[in-house]
Every structure is written in C-alpha cells, then in structure tokens.
Amino acid sequence: MATGRMNDVIGLQQRLEQHGFVAERSFAATLLLTMEMRRPLLLEGEAGVGKTEVAKALARLLNTRLIRLQCYEGLDAHSALYEWNYQHQLLAIKLLEQDERSIPDKEQDIFSERYLLKRPLLEAITTTPAPVLLIDEIDRTDEAFEAYLLELLSDFQLSIPELGVIRALERPFVILTSNGTREISDALRRRCLYQYVDYPGFEKELLIVRTQIPEVPEKLARQIVEFVQSVRQLDLQKKPGLAETLDWVAALLRLGVSAIDANGVEQIMDSLSALIKTREDQAGMTRPVVEKLAASC
C-alpha cells in the first residue's frame, strides 16, 4: 500500500476512535474503500460483536443521518420501501367526487408523492446529504426480500408502479449486517465489499472499554476484559459480546467493585445478569466457576 494511502487508513482509524469505534487497520481500509467506492459493505459475525456500531460510528464520522432498516422474518418490500397513505387517499377521493377532471387526472393526483409514506430504503435514496443506510440482520429475511434489494444495491434506484423509477439523489453509504443464521445469496454478496467481524482480542477489547467508559480504573478494566475473554472459552449457548462487556463494566462500577478477585466473588455473582444472558448459561456460572475465573485475572 502506498504511503499516502496508508496515512489515509491510519487517519480514518484515528477518527473512528474519536467517535467511539476501535478498528484494526484492515477493517479501516475496508471502510475507506466503502466510503470512496460507495459500495455496500456486508459485515458478518456473531451477534454482539459490534457490527451495528460500525454504521453508527460512520454516521457520526460523516456528520450525516443514520437510517436503519431492522430486518425480521416476514419483512416485505412495502414495509422496507414505501406504503401509500390509504386513509388520506380515501379522504382525497371523497373530496374529488365533485371534481370535473378526468379519471386519469384524478388518479394521478391521488397517487402522487404527497400520499407516499417513505420507509427506510426509499428514505435513504431521497435524502441529502447522503445518509448511512444500515440494513441490520439481513439474514433474518428470505431470498425473496434479497431480490428486492438487488435493484437498489446495483443502480441505487427503486421502481414504484404508480410513479415510475426513483433514482438516488446521492448514493447512501450502505452497511449490511448478518449474524450468519442463513447463507446470504451470491448475487447480494457480489454487490458488496465484505468483512468478517470476530470477537475482539484482549488488547482491542481493552481499548474499547477504555474508549467507551474512560472512568473505569486501568487495573479493573484489564481484569474485566481478562474475565470476559475467559468466559468466552466456556461452553455457553450465548457468548457475551461487546455490548455485554460494556454493560458488565457499568454494572460493576455501580456495585462498587474495585477488583476482580476472590474477595469480590459475591458482587461478581450479583452482576452476572449484565454479562450472561440465558438461563442455562447463568446456571452454569456456579460459584466455583466464578472463583476460578476471578483467580486467573
């Protein structure tokens, strides 16, 4: 990589950190390409590793609007693209009954943009300056919905039968996230840059804790991260992610915990509701297990 470009990547790393997001050099390089090429970025990884935070940090960095489409099973195009305001249209039809214009003219008035309810995808391509569009947990949708996305991600335009083709005023910065619950189609992958987001290593997670919660004492921060890193090695249904780490730091500070050691096991046990999020996993965090983990910190 040329020196000038390397400096650009390092500069982006530093600016992201100023906005609360810690990124490795390779990740910052991918994000830089996403910004410059205006290609969508597909982020895959386990739930809780910080994928959604990428879009939030990018929006803060660019000082632009974040538009979020939260995906779910059964999501259809109308919920993501647009809907007609039927109540207002019915009222307009009543008011137009005495109008002497032709039926096509009346229809054109009823199906105009004033009665259009913009949903996240349409909102994203009609907003200026260019927003960050977060399509969160795309793997929760089905292949049919992915097909609706292809036109948007290929040409950044959408087709509305009553209005025609609506093209983007400015290309939004698009971030898609997936927890890997199903395979994303090759057609969608081809339209995106790609980055896998794993659980952070010790140094990165420690830096994130310092960045997000600067009031935590250095020694306690290191002990917390060591504890969490060890917990992730256990046979758990749901390993704690970054969000759980930060929640646990906040919980420990509120409980007045100053160290992760044998003397504070009771308070550690009391605070595990912020770190361990399933009944079965909490049942497995017995006192002997917690004592052993605390002793290793």
Do 140 and 255 belong together in one domain?
no
Do 191 and 45 belong together in one domain?
yes
Last residue of a domain, one of 147, 163, 196: 196
Domain count, the chain: 2
Assess if residue 271 is contained within a domain: yes
Last residue of a domain, one of 171, 196, 221: 196
For the stretch 104-150, pLDDT in tens is 655 666 666 777 888 999 999 999 999 999 999 999 998 889 888 88
Of 248 and 85, which is predicted with more confidence?
248
Amino acid identity at 31: L
This prediction has a pTM of: 0.86
Do 239 and 260 belong together in one domain?
yes
Do 38 and 130 belong together in one domain?
yes
- The yes-or-no verdict on residue 97 having pLDDT over 80 is no
pLDDT value of position 108? 61
For a pLDDT cut of 90, what percent of the chain falls above it?
A: 67
Angle at 74 between CA 70 and CA 78, to 5 degrees: 75
Do 232 and 251 belong together in one domain?
yes
In the predicted model, what is the mean pLDDT of the chain? Answer: 89
Do 190 and 208 belong together in one domain?
no
Q: Please provide the distance, in angstroms rounded to a whole number, between the alpha carbons at the two ends of the chain.
A: 39
Angle between helices 242-254 and 202-212 (to 10 degrees): 50
When pLDDT is averaged across residues 95-102 and rounded to a whole number, the result is: 65
- Burial (CB count within 10 angstroms: exposed 0-12, middle 13-18, buried 19+), residue 104: exposed
Contact 140, 75 (CB under 8 A): yes
Do 252 and 183 belong together in one domain?
no
Q: What is the DSSP string of 80-118?
A: HSEEE-HHHHHHHHHHTTT--S-HHHHHHHHTSGGGEEE
Do 43 and 188 belong together in one domain?
yes
Do 183 and 133 belong together in one domain?
yes
Assess if residue 101 is contained within a domain: no
Q: By residue range, what is the domain housing residue 260?
A: 202-295
